[in-house]
Amino acid sequence: MYPKRILTLVIFFLFFVKVHAQVVETKDEVDWHSSILYNAGQWNELITYGKEKISSGMDFSLLRMRVGYASFVLGNYSQSLKQYQNVLQTEPHNAIALYYVYLNNLYLNNITAARFYAAQLPAETKAYEKISKLKIYSVETEYSYKMPTDTFRKNAQYARIGLNLQLGYRLQLQQSGAWFKQYINEPNMIYVVNNQKIDLNIKEYYGKLIFAATGKVSVIGGFHYIKSPFNNYSYNNRVTFGGVKYTTPYFQFKAMANLGNITDKSYNQYDLTASVYPRGNTKLYTISRIAYGDQFTFSQVAGYGITKAIWLEANVTLGKYNSYYENDALYVYNDIDQKEFKTGASVYANLSKNAMLSVNYTFEQKLRYKTTTNYFYQNSINGGLTWKF
C-alpha cells in the first residue's frame, strides 16, 4: 500500500515540475519560442504568446518588436504602435522601432505625430518614403447645395477650396477660402432694406496652425474671418480658436476654445472631443464631441470601412442652436433660423493613391426666425475631392 502512495507522490511531483517548467520559461526560451512563431508567420499565436509573457514580467525589446510587427501585418496599428512606442522609451535610437512608430501613426491618420517621428528617421529612410521637410500636403475642394422646404428661404450654395502645407516636420498650416450664397425673405427683419430679398453673399478665410510639441501632444491655433453683407448691413465676423490634442494608440482627445464675434454679438464655444479606434485602425472609429456655447450640444460620428478604399460614415448633432462652430471652427453656423436637429451620412472613396472623393447628405430641422411654430426642413448634398501630394 505504501509503495503505491509513494509512486503516486513521485508521479505528481514529476508532473508538477514539468508543468512548472513549461509555465516559467527563461528569457532565452521565450526568445527562441517567439522567433519560431515569427519566422513561421503565425501572427495571431505570436501576439497571444507575446502578450502573455509580457504580462507575466518577461518583457524585452525584441519580444515587443515581434508582437508589434505581427500586429502591423494583421492591421492592428494601434496595438503595433503601443509595442514599438514602448521599445522607443527604453531604446530611443532603435531605428526599426522608430520607423514603425512613424508608419503606424501614418496609417492611423495621425499625420502630426507621423511627421514628428519622420524628422528622426535616417536620411535613406526619408528618401525611400519620399519624406521632405517642406511640402504641399494636399489640396481640397468641396461644394454643397442646400434645399430648404420653406418658401421664404431660397436654395443655397456653399463652395470651399483648401490648401494644406507642411512647414517643417512639426508645423502644419491649413488654409481655406469659402463662399456662401442664398436669398431669403424675412419680414420680421424690419430694419433691413428690401427684406423680401435679402442677399447673403458671404466670403470667408480660414487658417489653422498645428504644432507637434511631442509625439503625443499637439497644439492648435487659428483664425476664421467671415465677411457677411446683409443688404444695408455688413458684418465682419471673426473667430479665433486654440486647443490641445493628446493621442494614444487607441484614443485621441482634444480640448478647444473658440472665441468669436458674430454679427456684433460675442459668441464663445468650448469643445471636448474623443476619438476611438476599437480595432486599432481606421476601419472602425467613433468621434464624440460635447460643445458648450449658448447651451450644450452633442455630436456623434461613426465610421466603418466596407473595403480598403471605401468608408461609410454617419453623424448626428443634438441640441438647439443658431450659432455653432464645427470642425475646429472650419464651419461657422451663423443662422437666423434655429437649428433643432441635424443628421447625415457620408461616403469616402479613395480613387487612387492621391485622390479621395467624398459625397455627403445632411438633413436638418429648423425653426424660422422669430416664430414658435414655423418649422421646416433643409436637405443638403455635398461633394468633395482631396488630392494628396
Q: Return d(Cα 186, Cα 334) in angstroms, integer.
A: 16
Written as one string, the DSSP assignment of 33-64 is HHHHHHHTT-HHHHHHHHHHHHHTT---HHHH
> Nearest to residue 173, comparing CAs of 146, 215, 211?
211
**3-state DSSP call for residue 264?**
coil
The separation between CA 352 and the C-alpha centre of its own chain, rounded to angstroms, equals 21
Mean pLDDT, consecutive 10-residue stretches, the chain (389 aa), reads: 50 47 78 95 97 94 97 97 96 96 97 96 95 96 98 98 97 98 96 95 98 97 96 95 97 98 93 97 97 95 96 97 96 95 98 96 97 97 97
Say if CB 283 and CB 275 are below 8 A apart: no
Per-residue model confidence (pLDDT) at position 3: 55
Per-residue model confidence (pLDDT) at position 332: 96
Say if CB 239 and CB 326 are below 8 A apart: no
Q: What is the DSSP letter of 170?
A: S
> Nearest to residue 204, comparing CAs of 235, 225, 230?
225
Per-residue model confidence (pLDDT) at position 25: 86
Per-residue model confidence (pLDDT) at position 17: 45
Per-residue model confidence (pLDDT) at position 316: 98
Give the H or E element holding residue 129: helix 123-129
Task: Domains for the chain: give ranges and CATH numbers.
Answer: 21-129 (1.25.40.10), 134-388 (2.40.160.60)
Cell 528622426, residue located: 120
Q: Return d(Cα 380, Cα 147) in angstroms, integer.
A: 6
Say if CB 341 and CB 311 are below 8 A apart: no
> Nearest to residue 358, comparing CAs of 345, 371, 370, 369?
345
Per-residue model confidence (pLDDT) at position 22: 53
Strands (E), the chain: 134-148, 156-167, 171-184, 198-212, 217-230, 233-247, 251-262, 265-276, 284-292, 296-305, 310-326, 331-350, 355-367, 375-388
